[in-house]
Amino acid sequence: MISMIGVAAAALTTSSFLPQIVRAYRTKSMGDVSRYLMSMFATGTVLWMVYGIFKEDLVIIGANATATAFNIILLYMKVVYKAKPAKVA
């Protein structure tokens, strides 16, 4: 049961990047996303992945490897999609 809670938590936190990736792809804008937040989060997920390797925990490794990949995609999008001015409705 405890392992299932860990797997669910890993799946939810890792997949939380997907809405931002989809939104950025559709709008071609990343102006409202902080590169410092993404850089710090990427560093954290890499460290968690290393921790998982030492602990030999595939859930920690897999979740953080995936989160790191999603974060790299967002950082790439941040560079490619220059900030656009916000549209006021």
DSSP symbol at 13: H
Q: Phi/psi at 56 (nearest 5 deg)? A: 55, 45
Neighbours of 70 (CB within 10 A): 21
Residue 31 lies in a domain: yes
**The pLDDT value given to residue 86:** 57
pLDDT score of 14 more than 60: yes
Condensed to tens digits (0 to 9), the pLDDT of residues 33-69 reads: 888 888 898 899 999 999 999 999 998 999 999 999 9
CATH number for the domain spanning 55: value is 1.20.1280.290
* Most confident option among 14-18, 28-32, 42-46, 76-80: 42-46
pLDDT score of 27 more than 90: no
Domain extent for 50: 2-80
Alpha carbons 39 and 78: distance in angstroms, whole number: 11
Taking residues 14-41, report their average pLDDT: 86
Residue 30 lies in a domain: yes
Residue 28 lies in a domain: yes
Domains held by the chain: number: 1
Alpha carbons 4 and 1: distance in angstroms, whole number: 5
